[in-house]
Chains A and B, each alone.
Chain A
């Protein structure tokens, strides 16, 4: 089954404790992206990757890091989480070279930073 898998789905952590949210897709997609969703603000892009070893900032990259060492994985790293990073996070992927334009989303990771 084609899917984007995020882990963990739910996480409560404390300020400053480094965490990683993993994202994996099994569709051989070149393009992967991270979004955060906050009430009243819609989805805002954090980082995206056009292919392995190619990453770029989205609209709200501050406080986040990413890496793309393998095509299927695109982890989101919060080196020193702060309460303003409490949010619902989504990973998404797309076949950019084929460019159907459709994004496939994971089920989301709800993060609370105390």
Chain B
């Protein structure tokens, strides 16, 4: 499979805590993206990190990329109940014409 894998599959934290999700993949990539999905809704793009970047920030989001380990992490700081959703990584793999999505991490933020 060319899909990435997120870890953990599910995460439950208290409001105000930080949430960290990890993504591993298997092939060379041009970029890696993170998406959010509220229950049963369409996915929404959060952030893109290119293969030559190591870290990127957007508001309360911090993404890191380690191409030597073929892994990425998404950190959400100071979580809110509204952050409750599923989070997916997607890899733009070298030579491919599409994104390959992982199976997602289900985040629950308890008020």
Contact = CB atoms under 8 A, between A and B. Distances in A.
Interface of A: 4, 33, 35, 40-45, 48, 50, 56, 58-59, 88, 90, 92, 100-108, 110
A35 B43 CA distance: 11
Chain B contact residues: over half helix, strand or loop, or mixed? strand
| Complex A-B, nearest 8 residue pairs according to Cβ-Cβ distance, in ascending order | A105-B42, A42-B103, A43-B101, A102-B45, A105-B43, A107-B42, A42-B101, A101-B48
Interface residues of B, number: 24
Interface of B: 2-3, 30-31, 33, 35, 40-45, 48, 88, 90, 92, 97-104
A56 B101 CA distance: 18
A48 B48 contact: no
A58 B45 contact: no
Contacts of A35: 101
9 contacts: A42-B88, A44-B3, A59-B2, A88-B40, A102-B33, A103-B45, A105-B44, A106-B42, A107-B42
Nearest to B104: A42
Contacts of B104: 42
A18 to B, nearest CB: 25
